Amino acid sequence: MSLVKTPVQAIAKKPLIGLKADSFRHPLDLEATKTLRQIPGIDIMVRNLLGPVAEQVFYAENIASSILVSEKQLPDLHYLLIDACKNLDIELPQLYIRQHPSPNAYTFAMRGKKPFIVLHTSLVDMLTPEEIQAVIGHELGHLKCDHSVYLTPANLLILATSILPNIGVVLAQSLQNQLLEWVRCAEFTCDRAALLATQNPKVVMSVLMKLAGGSPTLAPRLNLDAFVAQARAYDAISKTELGMMVKDAHTAQLSHPVPVLRAREIDRWSSSVEYHNLLGNKGLENRDQTQGGWRNW
């Protein structure tokens, strides 16, 4: 396996000093969060049922099974983390690399502990340094937006299902629809964070393309332009009544929106006035804001 050999190529990236989460938060994230907050005591209920022991198990299990990245351990990955944190104006969390055959990354924030990000080796293996930084930026988005309020209960539900099947099933049945809907919407926000960290929409969309159908051998052969065209075609199909039904059925039990939808959102937002204003780009004031940004699916 080959990890990062060289740091991210120097490009004109601008550290976004003073960046606020609400300045890039996706409207669907805002709506879903309001809905979730209407469930009385969701955070307290999950934590009280599972208890601090479950948090400790989840935390310790990851620490024991992963490699902590630092200046002396995989320093190139450490550089990517530092650079992304600088661009998003966020405090440095811990970063761990974990041996796992399924490409994935996740964030965990526990009370009284420093938050950490975990990247699976299979994900690192098929991405370029710039793409790895996009993934890190995405996970930093969860921390920047304080998603841990609901993300941690969601992770604990997953843990409960595996180690406490009876309790896990009861909790999942009562909360999974609301939590999964919120998680999917939060992912759109974090994709925006990935874009602000890398400031290159092609890099973010390339990550999504590789998550959809990549591997260490296939990834270099994939065509990003063709994937973006595929995302736009899916967008057009989903506007029909039948297409909406299929899309809803496809995504109802997923923890993430399908990659083509996420790519289409980044494609739009990267051309929006909102995004370019965050970067301090000028000359876009008269641009049609419907060209980019968000609209309801």
As annotated, the active-site residues are 139
How big is the chain by its Cα radius of gyration, in Å? 19
Q: Find residue 95's DSSP bridge partners.
A: 117
Q: For 125, list phi and psi in degrees, rounded to 5.
A: -65, -30
Q: For residue 79, what are the contacts with CB-CB under 8 A and spacing of at least 6?
A: 7, 8
> Do the Cβ atoms of 211 and 259 come closer than 8 Å?
yes
Q: Which two tokens stand for residue 95?
A: 């970063």
Q: For 270, list phi and psi in degrees, rounded to 5.
A: -65, -20
Please name which of 99, 92, 34 lies closest in space to residue 67, comparing C-alpha atoms.
99
